[in-house]
């Protein structure tokens, strides 16, 4: 039997539920200590390792404490039980349904972009793609009825995959509590009549639709207002904040690139030297198996140790290890990855390198070491030209966090949509005035 090829994910993402408050008591949800929906997903353009941390109500007497709310974004990446993304299924179905391609032809195209066998192409089409098209045939109606009865109705999410080259776009209506797909279909266009036809079967459900979560597509908003007029409609704040943070994320990415280049120019030789040096056994970091590394002998008693050298630069194994670890940590900080809108790699790299410089200065005050001095002066020279850029990015990040705080619901003091919109509009006007007065280069959408 052939050994399966290992998949190494390019990115690890842990999602959290988009709903922040309990549907029954209105209190803030707490997250579970365990992960769900934890798997590796192959898409057409990347390999991801994803998971979601479920949310529940903290009160044991509340029905929400027995719920396990998952992230709608995480569940929109791949179907349950499959490690292939929805975009893979979309491409597979389009090739089969509209171009009449054979399984071998589909496999030839898909295998150029991901790891898949011809037998699995057939399986995905027959056992995953076709059931998605036929999911309205109530395969999971009993489970859906139980959840709807417990929470008094359904919470649904509307989302579609981005079309490719003018092709029709596949859309899904999914229940947030169970992850079940209520409807899926190809939409040739996203105008109001098309969206109304797609949403119309929801009116005939015996359970009410409590809330709808979606993006702000042009034809979708009036269609939801017409078909589901008695349901609350909330736009996805994650998409909104991510779009709002695009200029800031672009500025931060450029900031990170220039900062990393400058740091390597200043202390690159030190970092490369540290990668070749290793405390312990000649570059061997960890050994397991039947033949482990020999146990080091304990240090000699204090009475047998030689007198310490009077030189402040005398070699000390413990000091050498601290300095080596500090240099290794500096090298690691140049590889940080960001996750907009709130985790920006450029800002985080600058802040943590600044902390390394401060620690180096404190250590130099106690004991001089040429490597430590080179690290401190190199980082100080590298960070100084970017102080203004960091302050500008820091200001933009503060504005973004303030906007997220305005949009976050407060159970104890609920506000109407008009009140929240008024607060947001007022704050955005304030940001625009401050941005013009401070000369911040990046602009918000």
Report yes or no: 406 and 420 within 8 Å, Cβ to Cβ. yes
**Residues for the chain: how many in total?**
445
Q: φ and ψ at 247, to 5 degrees?
A: -60, -40
Decide which of 405 and 278 is more confident. Answer: 405
Helix, strand, or coil here: 12? Answer: strand
Give CA–CA dist 378/265, Å, rounded. 9
Please tell me the pTM assigned to this model: 0.50
The per-residue pLDDT for 5 is 66
Confidence of residue 438 (pLDDT cuts 50, 70, 90): low
The CA radius of gyration of the chain, in Å to the nearest whole number, is: 28
Tokens for 24?
A: 């029954």
Confidence of residue 1 (pLDDT cuts 50, 70, 90): low
The per-residue pLDDT for 280 is 47
Q: φ and ψ at 213, to 5 degrees?
A: -115, 125
Give CA–CA dist 405/29, Å, rounded. 16
Helix, strand, or coil here: 57? Answer: coil
Tokens for 430?
A: 């304030």
Provide the CA 346 distance to its chain's centre, in angstroms.
17
Q: Where are the domains of the chain?
A: 30-64+81-133, 138-235, 246-277+317-391, 393-438
Q: pLDDT tens for residues 281-315?
A: 445 544 555 555 555 555 555 555 444 444 444 45
**Mean pLDDT, to the nearest integer, of 341-370?**
91
Report yes or no: 89 and 129 within 8 Å, Cβ to Cβ. yes
Q: Is the dihedral of CA 81, 68, 139, 184 positive or negative?
A: negative
Give CA–CA dist 400/255, Å, rounded. 18
Any idea what DSSP says for residue 202?
G
Report yes or no: 323 and 372 within 8 Å, Cβ to Cβ. yes
Confidence of residue 49 (pLDDT cuts 50, 70, 90): very high
Give CA–CA dist 78/99, Å, rounded. 23
Give CA–CA dist 188/166, Å, rounded. 9
The per-residue pLDDT for 341 is 82
Q: pLDDT tens for residues 394-434?
A: 988 888 888 888 887 776 777 777 888 888 888 888 888 87
Q: Is the dihedral of CA 210, 213, 218, 219 positive or negative?
A: negative
The CATH fold assigned to 138-235 is Nucleotidyltransferase; domain 5 (3.30.420)
């Amino acid at each position: 039997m052939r050994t399966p090829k290992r998949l190494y994910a390019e990115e690890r993402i842990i999602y959290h539920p988009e709903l922040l408050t309990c549907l029954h008591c209105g209190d803030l949800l707490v997250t579970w200590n365990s992960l769900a929906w934890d798997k590796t997903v192959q898409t057409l353009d990347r390999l991801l390792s994803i998971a979601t941390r479920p949310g529940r109500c903290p009160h044991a007497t509340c029905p929400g404490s027995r719920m396990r709310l998952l992230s709608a974004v995480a569940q929109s990446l791949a179907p349950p039980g499959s490690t292939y993304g929805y975009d893979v299924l979309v491409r597979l179905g389009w090739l089969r349904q509209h171009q009449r391609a054979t399984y071998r032809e589909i496999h030839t195209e898909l295998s150029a972009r991901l790891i898949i066998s011809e037998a699995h192409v057939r399986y995905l089409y027959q056992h995953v793609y076709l059931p998605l098209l036929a999911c309205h045939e109530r395969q999971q109606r009993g489970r859906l009825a139980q959840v709807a009865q417990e929470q008094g109705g359904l919470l649904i999410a509307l989302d579609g995959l981005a079309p490719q080259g003018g092709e029709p776009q596949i859309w899904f209506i999914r229940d947030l509590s169970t992850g079940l797909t209520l409807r899926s279909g190809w939409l040739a266009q996203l105008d109001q009549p098309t969206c109304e036809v797609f949403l119309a079967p929801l009116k005939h459900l015996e359970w009410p639709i409590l809330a709808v979560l979606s993006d702000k597509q042009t034809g979708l908003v009036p269609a939801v207002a017409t078909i589901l007029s008695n349901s609350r409609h909330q736009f996805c704040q994650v998409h909104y904040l991510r779009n709002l943070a695009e200029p800031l994320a672009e500025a931060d990415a450029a900031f990170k690139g220039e900062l990393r280049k400058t740091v390597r120019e200043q202390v690159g030789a030190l970092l490369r030297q540290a990668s070749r040096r290793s405390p312990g056994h000649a570059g061997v970091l960890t050994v397991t198996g039947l033949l482990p590394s020999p146990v080091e002998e304990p240090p000699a008693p204090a009475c047998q140790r030689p007198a310490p050298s009077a030189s402040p630069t005398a070699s000390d194994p413990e000091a050498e290890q601290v300095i080596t670890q500090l240099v290794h940590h500096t090298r690691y900080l140049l590889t940080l990855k960001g996750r907009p809108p709130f985790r920006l790699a450029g800002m985080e790299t600058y802040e943590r390198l600044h902390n390394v410089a401060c620690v180096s200065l404190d250590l130099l005050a106690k004991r001089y070491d040429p490597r430590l001095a080179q690290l401190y002066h190199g980082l100080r020279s590298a960070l100084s030209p970017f102080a203004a850029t960091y302050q500008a990015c820091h200001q933009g990040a503060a504005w973004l966090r303030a906007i997220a705080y305005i949009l976050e619901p407060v159970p104890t003091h609920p506000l109407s949509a008009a009140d929240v919109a008024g607060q947001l509009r007022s704050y955005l006007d304030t940001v625009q005035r401050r941005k013009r007065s401070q000369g911040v280069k990046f602009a918000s959408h």
